[in-house]
Structure formats: structure tokens, C-alpha cells
Amino acid sequence: MRILVVRALLPGAPRLFPAFGVSSRKVRNVGIGVQKIPIARTISLRSPQYRGLIKKGEVVGVNYYRITTNQNSRDFTTQHHVTIVSSEGTLQDAEVSVSTVVQNADDPDVTNCVGLPPSGDQITGFHRLSEWKQVAGREWHNTKQTRSSRKEGVDQEGSCTMTPNVWVYFPSPSGGKYALSVTSNPRTVRCDSSPLLKWYKNGGCVVMRGVTALSMAYSDEIINPDTGVRTSFPEVNDHIWLALEHPYLTKPGRKSYYDLDPDAKDIPGNWGDWLSRAKYRPTPGGSRGLASSACKIEYSAAQREGKQCDEFPFASLEQGADNAKPKNNYSVMPVMPAQNEAHGIAIAAWCKNNRIIRSDKFWIQMLD
């Protein structure tokens, strides 16, 4: 049976994240950056050719760049767009070039980040500011495609770093050229062919920036395209919100752990208290078994009738009930089976679409 997951969980429907000031990453297959302005500035340039005269110049502009990865391919794309705001002095009509240096993230001397042949009309090399202004209406001025061929470990990982560069050339009195450069902080793309992500047979890549946020809203739902049935999961969202915001009100409490104070519970999943996937599938005697036993102890038969035991952190996470520290630092609550199952499908889809493997951290962002 095919299942569609609505909103951010739908494959191929990424949401962009702000370029600056936010460490969280809502979706991991698009990275956007802006190089700080000015692109280049010569404050004071003295030389025998200038006979002691001070020559000043400035070019102000922005190098916009975007990194786009694929969910079902180990190829990714880097694009640039140059906007010239103003120029003066020795840099009045300087020559500018933009490029991205791509290297192996672990060892720059290893050539496993392979450049692919370019396609389409590319603006490469040095061009005068007047030329950049003439093509300002183009969305992207150049595009570079790269493939990660390194496959290390069980998840067959290979990482590449992209360092955006801007070079500015301007003439010297002797007939040569002076060069100025501006380099942005590198961005890392991690590619993998993990067996955990079976939807995408060819492997895929993600932009590694900050820590991923699993955003959950009460409007979220899954749709069965064969029947058209929509299923939302407000009871599960209520449970997760309670566990994150008021963990001292959650079960298990004294009935299950008489010697542990429920007021001291601090269930992980908020910003800074990361979650991660478990090393192995949940087993009946592991997190799922502990949660089920706690449900039976903490809730009466009438409260559990017709419902399933929902647990948070999820049984598929390393922070599940079996690894809780202290032992009562998790939450259980009876919820409607259809909602519990739909939420499980949504979480599995989110992990696959965002290529969450065991080494990745994420947190829960509850939306209104």
C-alpha cells in the first residue's frame, strides 16, 4: 500500500531555511548562503609605481550561492549568482570571478568528490563588473555538479566540503594585476547509501548544517492514495507536547518507579537535548516492551480499552525507554490505534526523506 505524507513529509517538497542566524535545519536537501559584503576593498595601497600616492577603491556586492542535493542520487549541485551594488576608485570596473572549491571533507588530498561535466550556459572565469551587471537578470550565473564516490562504513558515507570564493582582479600601474579574495565558511554535504533508507536505492546526499528539526503540527496528516482516507494524529501530538513541556506530569510515575521522583524527569527531544536513531530495531523486550508494561501499570483497563500505548521518545530512538536515564525518563499514554499507526508512518517517512542515519541528531519542534 502506498502512503503519501502531507506537508513537510512529502518527498520532493523541501522547505528552505534562513541563510543566517538559525542553527536548526528544517529540511536537509537545500542549503542557501550569502557571502558578506563588500566583496572586496582596497583601503590603502602604496607602491613605488604610485610614488607614495594613496589609491582607494571599493566594490560592494553579494555572491549568492545555493547547494542542492538529491534524495535518490549521490550527485549534488552548487550554483552562484553575483549582484554588484556599487564600485569606485581602483575597483571601478574590476574583474570578478566566483567559484566553489570542492574537497573531500576528511582528507583534501583524496579525490572522491568528482566534478561532473557542466550543462547549460555557464558564466565562468573573470568578468568586469559592467559585464556582471548586464547578466543580473539571470537566476544563476554558473552551476557546478559533483558526485561523491567514497563509501565508508555500514552507511557507505562520503562527505564533501564546498568553499565559495570570490576573486577580484584590478590593474596595477606596472601593467600587471593585483588580486583580492574573499572566502566564505565551507559547507559540507554528506552522501550515503545507508541500508536504513530503503526508499532510495541509489543513495542520496544532505546538507550538513546545524541540527535537523522534526517539525510537527496539528494539521499534519497522511493520505492513503488508494482509498483517499486522511488520518491525522492530534492525540499523539498532545502526548509529545506534554512530554517535552511538562515531563513531570507524564507517566510512568511512582507506580512503576516508586523510588524515582517524577518531578525530576527531563525527557529529551527539545533543542539542545538531541534525539538519534537506535542502532537496532525495537524488540519486544526492549523499549517497546518496557513502555507497554508501564502503560498497564499506570493506566486502568478502562483507560486502555480500544487504545494503543504510545511512547516518547519513540521506540526506534536511542533515547527510548530501554535506555532512559534515569529509568523513568520517558512517557507513555494510551492513544487511538489509527492515530498511533499514522504517526509512525509519518515519522518513518520523515527519517527517509531527510536521510536520518544513526550518526545524525535531531530535535522536535512543535508547531501551533
What pLDDT does 283 receive? 54
Sorted by where each begins, the domain ranges of the chain are 24-209, 214-366
pLDDT band at residue 1 using 50, 70 and 90 as cut-offs? very low
Which among 40, 35, 33 is positioned nearest to 62, based on CA atoms? Answer: 35
Q: Find out whether 243 and 267 touch, Cβ atoms under 8 Å.
A: yes
Alpha helices in the chain (DSSP H): 129-134, 234-245, 287-298, 301-304, 337-353
pLDDT surpasses 70 at 106: no
Which among 19, 18, 355 is positioned nearest to 195, based on CA atoms? Answer: 355
What pLDDT does 173 receive? 64
Mean pLDDT computed over every residue of the chain: 80
Q: Rounded mean pLDDT of 279-289?
A: 66
What pLDDT does 313 receive? 95
Range from 83-92, 136-145, 212-221, 254-263 carrying the lowest mean pLDDT: 83-92
d(C-alpha 145, C-alpha 119), whole Å: 9
Phi, psi at 19, each rounded to 5°: -75, -30
Contacts of 63 (CB under 8 A, 6+ apart): 34, 35, 39, 80, 81, 82, 98, 164, 166, 182, 184
Cell of 178: 593585483
pLDDT band at residue 186 using 50, 70 and 90 as cut-offs? confident
Higher pLDDT, 306 or 187: 306
What pLDDT does 359 receive? 86
What pLDDT does 233 receive? 95
Which pLDDT tens digit goes with each residue over 309-343? 999 999 889 999 988 999 999 999 999 999 999 99
pLDDT surpasses 70 at 4: no
Most confident range, picked from 153-167, 189-203, 236-250: 236-250
Q: Rounded mean pLDDT of 188-205?
A: 90
Higher pLDDT, 14 or 82: 82
Q: Rounded mean pLDDT of 197-222?
A: 89
What pLDDT does 243 receive? 96
Q: Exposed e or buried b for every residue in 44-73, given b needs 16+ CB within 10 A?
A: ebeeeeeeeeebebbbbbbbbbbbbbbbee
Which pLDDT tens digit goes with each residue over 127-172? 888 898 898 888 888 888 999 988 989 899 999 988 888 888 877 6
Range from 7-11, 44-48, 92-96, 128-132 carrying the lowest mean pLDDT: 7-11
Which pLDDT tens digit goes with each residue over 49-67? 444 444 577 788 888 888 8
Higher pLDDT, 9 or 246: 246
Q: Find out whether 360 and 212 touch, Cβ atoms under 8 Å.
A: yes
What pLDDT does 90 receive? 75
pLDDT band at residue 252 using 50, 70 and 90 as cut-offs? very high
- Measured CA to CA in angstroms, residue 190 lies from 159, 206, 331, 360 at distances of 4, 5, 33, 11
